[in-house]
């Protein structure tokens, strides 16, 4: 379904839209307060952009360097060309270790690869351990935001979900009680887990180590208890040097939630005694995106979610309206690269206001890329005949001043003289909820000509 259809369904409940909008604006505002206190924030963004651009231009070398160093550290490294291969590798590792119960710390990459259903089909229990992720997992939904996966649910809905699945008592959505119960529930899962899966926020080429950022400590709890740790990372997560972490860790948390740093920024380098550590390095369309000069900068993304929080459309349409793993402005430039037809409406779900580009900590020119996708989409995917013809006609009128004048006259006359009911009839979407301007008698052109004539006479 198109973004606009899904968004209009979400908009049927205006109260929900209002709190969704306010909740995300609150986060965006917190981000503002915290970044405006950092001296040299814009320089930091430039640095982040520069390091990422450099990394992408030397991606092959840095990945190889990372692999070598990780292996030296005793980590097993695997390469996956696509989602399918990633899932097979993970499944294989789990089988080799006879792992039946898995705890996962939030990883959008495993969402992207649809890992959960694949493991579950093999009889493996997968528990998402980030609270928000666990909530959407219980609701059998997908995350609607990359940092705040359950932001579309209010506490009363969570209350009901927990009663149904975790056997909690009705509590009128008391957050303290609910998180307490979630904590108990998750702790039992951590203790029982045979393997822990985490994402990777940053992989450091010159050390072979990697960093996972969470606010709940769930990645650590999983990785420190289970005998097997599998980390899934996209190829673009690599940064050249350990010292670059200082740039990205500062950018990430502030942009995401306005915190100076995430509560846990856990560095993993080598497996503990008796524990196995695996890293799966995944492409899944990334090198194809890298090959598109106009869109390669989308791979700078550090998944902070700031572009979603700032986007006035995202805030009012909800993450699910994007029907993609990564929603919002950045998702709208990543998704068409994967399936142009399926995601053809996403680049149009924007007013091109540019707030996303200005908020992005690694300076991705998001709105310019949306504009560029639009040009490609109208050429390469089926477009409504009427829209195509209308654009052609408009192009033609604007290329010829005399035609422009004639059409303008007719339009003004119609607005002035036709009955309102006819003007605001169904095909005129504008008129459903908005009045059209009254057509003036004279255009500016006419007024100007008359004035010139008056001057002469």
Partner 1 sequence: MKVGLFIPCYINQLYPQVGIATIELLEKLNVDVGYPSGQTCCGQPMANSGYEYESVGACNNFVDNFKEFDYIVTPSGSCAYHVKKHYNIIPQTTEVTKVRDNVYELCDFILNILKIKDVGAAFPHKIGVHKSCHGLRGLRLGSCSEVVGEKYSYIEELLQEVKGAELTTLSRNDECCGFGGTFAVTEEAISVKMGKDKIQDHLNSGAEVITATDTSCLMHLEGLINRNKQPLKVLHIAEILNSNI
Rama region for 353: left / alpha / beta (φ>0; ψ in -120 to 50; rest): alpha
25 versus 264: smaller Cβ distance to partner 1: 25
Beta carbons within 8 Å of 55's beta carbon, 6+ residues apart: 62, 236, 238, 239, 240
182 versus 211: smaller Cβ distance to ligand SF4: 211
Beta carbons within 8 Å of 422's beta carbon, 6+ residues apart: none
52 versus 320: smaller Cβ distance to ligand SF4: 52
257 binds, among ligand SF4, partner 1, none (CB under 5 to 8 A by kind): none
CB of 304 to ligand SF4, least distance (A): 4
Among 307, 324, 346, 349, binds ligand SF4 (CB under 6 A): 307
364 binds, among partner 1, ligand SF4, none (CB under 5 to 8 A by kind): ligand SF4
Closest CA to 304 of 359, 234, 256, 261: 256
Closest CA to 314 of 1, 80, 10: 10
The CA distance from 353 to 310, in Å, is 11
CB of 301 to ligand SF4, least distance (A): 3
302 binds, among ligand SF4, partner 1, none (CB under 5 to 8 A by kind): ligand SF4
Per rule CB under 6 A, is residue 203 in the interface with ligand SF4? no
Per rule CB under 6 A, is residue 313 in the interface with ligand SF4? no
Q: Kindly indicate which of the ranges 12-20, 56-64, 170-178, 295-303 contains the residues binding ligand SF4, using the contact rule CB under 6 A.
A: 295-303
CB of 303 to ligand SF4, least distance (A): 5
Among 93, 148, 346, 362, binds ligand SF4 (CB under 6 A): 362
94 binds, among ligand SF4, partner 1, none (CB under 5 to 8 A by kind): none
Strands 276-282 vs 228-234: parallel, antiparallel or unpaired: parallel
Site for ligand SF4 in 138-167 (CB under 6 A): none
CB of 254 to ligand SF4, least distance (A): 11
How deeply is 45 buried, as exposed, middle or buried, from its count of CB atoms within 10 A (0-12, 13-18, 19+)? buried
Per rule CB under 6 A, is residue 330 in the interface with ligand SF4? yes
The CA distance from 343 to 337, in Å, is 9
- The secondary structure of residue 33, as a DSSP letter, is H
Residues of the chain by 3-state class (helix, strand, coil), percent to 5: 60, 10, 30
178 binds, among partner 1, ligand SF4, none (CB under 5 to 8 A by kind): none
Site for ligand SF4 in 66-105 (CB under 6 A): none
Q: Kindly indicate which of the ranges 12-20, 24-32, 282-290, 361-369 contains the residues binding ligand SF4, using the contact rule CB under 6 A.
A: 361-369
Bridge partners of 79, per DSSP, are 281
Going edge to edge, which strands form the sheet with 202-204?
238-239, 202-204, 210-214, 264-268
Per rule CB under 6 A, is residue 178 in the interface with ligand SF4? no
User: Measured between alpha carbons, how far apart are the two ends of the chain, in Å?
Assistant: 62
The CA distance from 130 to 120, in Å, is 19
How deeply is 112 buried, as exposed, middle or buried, from its count of CB atoms within 10 A (0-12, 13-18, 19+)? buried
CB of 196 to partner 1, least distance (A): 36
The CA distance from 105 to 91, in Å, is 17
The CA distance from 440 to 151, in Å, is 47
375 binds, among ligand SF4, partner 1, none (CB under 5 to 8 A by kind): partner 1
160 binds, among partner 1, ligand SF4, none (CB under 5 to 8 A by kind): none
Per rule CB under 6 A, is residue 361 in the interface with ligand SF4? yes
Site for ligand SF4 in 251-270 (CB under 6 A): 255
69 versus 255: smaller Cβ distance to partner 1: 255
Among 131, 306, 313, 349, binds ligand SF4 (CB under 6 A): 306
The CA distance from 162 to 141, in Å, is 15
Residue written as token pair 């902070």: 304
362 binds, among ligand SF4, partner 1, none (CB under 5 to 8 A by kind): ligand SF4
Instruction: Give the tokens for residue 75.
Output: 């980590």
Specify the length of the chain in residues: 457
CB of 334 to ligand SF4, least distance (A): 9
How deeply is 381 buried, as exposed, middle or buried, from its count of CB atoms within 10 A (0-12, 13-18, 19+)? middle
Q: Kindly indicate which of the ranges 95-103, 296-304, 396-404, 442-450 contains the residues binding ligand SF4, using the contact rule CB under 6 A.
A: 296-304
Binding footprint of ligand SF4 on the chain (CB under 6 A)? 255, 301-307, 330, 359-362, 364, 366
């Amino acid at each position: 379904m198109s973004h606009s259809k899904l968004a209009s369904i979400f908009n049927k409940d205006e109260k929900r839209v209002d709190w969704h909008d306010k909740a995300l604006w609150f986060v965006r505002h917190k981000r503002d307060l915290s970044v405006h206190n950092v001296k040299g924030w814009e320089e930091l963004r430039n640095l982040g952009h520069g390091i990422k651009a450099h990394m992408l231009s030397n991606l092959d070398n840095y990945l190889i360097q990372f692999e070598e160093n990780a292996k030296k550290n005793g980590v097993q490294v695997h390469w996956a060309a696509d989602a399918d291969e990633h899932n097979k590798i993970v499944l294989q590792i789990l089988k080799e270790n006879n792992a039946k119960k898995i705890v996962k710390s939030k990883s959008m990459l495993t969402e992207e690869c649809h890992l959960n259903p694949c493991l579950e089909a093999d009889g493996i229990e997968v528990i998402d351990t980030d609270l928000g992720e666990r909530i959407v997992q219980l609701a059998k939904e997908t995350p609607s935001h990359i940092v705040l996966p359950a932001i579309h649910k209010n506490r009363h809905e969570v209350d009901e979900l927990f009663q149904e699945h975790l056997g909690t008592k009705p509590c009128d959505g008391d957050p303290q009680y609910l998180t307490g119960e979630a904590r108990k529930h998750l702790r039992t899962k951590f203790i029982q887990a045979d393997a822990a899966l985490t994402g990777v926020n940053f992989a450091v080429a010159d050390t072979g180590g990697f960093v996972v950022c969470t606010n709940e400590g769930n990645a650590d709890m999983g990785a420190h208890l289970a005998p097997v740790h599998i980390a899934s990372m996209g190829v673009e997560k690599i940064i050249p040097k350990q010292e670059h972490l200082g740039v990205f860790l500062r950018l990430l948390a502030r942009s995401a939630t306005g915190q100076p740093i995430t509560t846990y920024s856990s560095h993993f380098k080598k497996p503990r005694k008796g524990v196995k550590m695996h890293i799966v390095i995944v492409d899944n369309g990334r090198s194809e995106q890298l090959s598109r000069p106009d869109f390669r900068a989308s791979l700078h993304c550090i998944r902070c979610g700031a572009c979603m929080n700032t986007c006035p459309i995202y805030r009012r349409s909800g993450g699910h309206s994007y029907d993609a793993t990564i929603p919002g402005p950045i998702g709208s430039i990543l998704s068409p690269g994967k399936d142009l037809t399926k995601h053809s409406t996403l680049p149009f779900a924007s007013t091109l206001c540019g707030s996303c580009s200005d908020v992005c900590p690694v300076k991705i020119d998001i709105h310019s890329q949306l504009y560029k996708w639009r040009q490609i989409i109208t050429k390469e995917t089926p477009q409504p005949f009427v829209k195509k013809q209308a654009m052609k006609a408009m192009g033609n009128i604007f290329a010829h001043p005399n035609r422009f004048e004639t059409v303008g006259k007719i339009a003004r006359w119609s607005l002035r003289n036709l009955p309102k009911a006819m003007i605001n009839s169904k095909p005129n979407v504008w008129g459903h909820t908005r009045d059209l301007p009254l057509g003036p008698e004279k255009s500016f052109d006419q007024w100007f000509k008359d004035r010139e004539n008056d001057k002469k006479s």
